[in-house]
Structure 1
């Protein structure tokens, strides 16, 4: 599994890996149940490698946040995304202390934590992922 092929599809829970391309979109496979289905070009998708979190100074790539959690938890899953919002915010403040509290909502924090746990369950090793040249330039 390659980090740069992982996407989120608007309206669909979980994360998906791009398996193939078609004329009208892509074929994706769910990281949870391994079911495959087509995603047409009219649906909104977000590549995880392009997502960033607002901080007071700059935007921090989601991969950097995942790597920080990975190191903090020693490669294991972190707290559940179903924790109460107070615990989620406290945990996220440890991981990314200078995140912009006005622009990063609790729902965003839940999603980041849920995605991290999904990726760890799927066997993604964040310590082996290198940022692309484009991402490295942004950091």
Structure 2
């Protein structure tokens, strides 16, 4: 069995560290990737880390994970609240997905309180900053088990 975890990041996360640091913190997406790869090594996992501002590209990557990855961490960003296409792709995948949000979406604007992704994710982590990615990876390690 593969021990690869797909980590997908949605729109505007390429600006992490410079965009609204009062909400999202000072860490960059490269910082998050480096920490996840280090933790993955400790857990015996591989990381496939990607970011896109394009909904269709995220859908394609989710589909390409079928039969290839053991699980995924997804920060869909603004697509959480709008993308039925991402939700449908996740429903069709054969691996567990944990949804991550850096900020607590439930303490923000009302339109952010609903996530289509949450309906199909095995778990959701929000409001814990970029540490949420690491917590999600540890949880996925337990979910997929050791080989």
Normalised to the residue count of structure 1, the TM-score between the two structures is 0.24
- Which has the larger helix fraction? 2
Larger Rg: 1
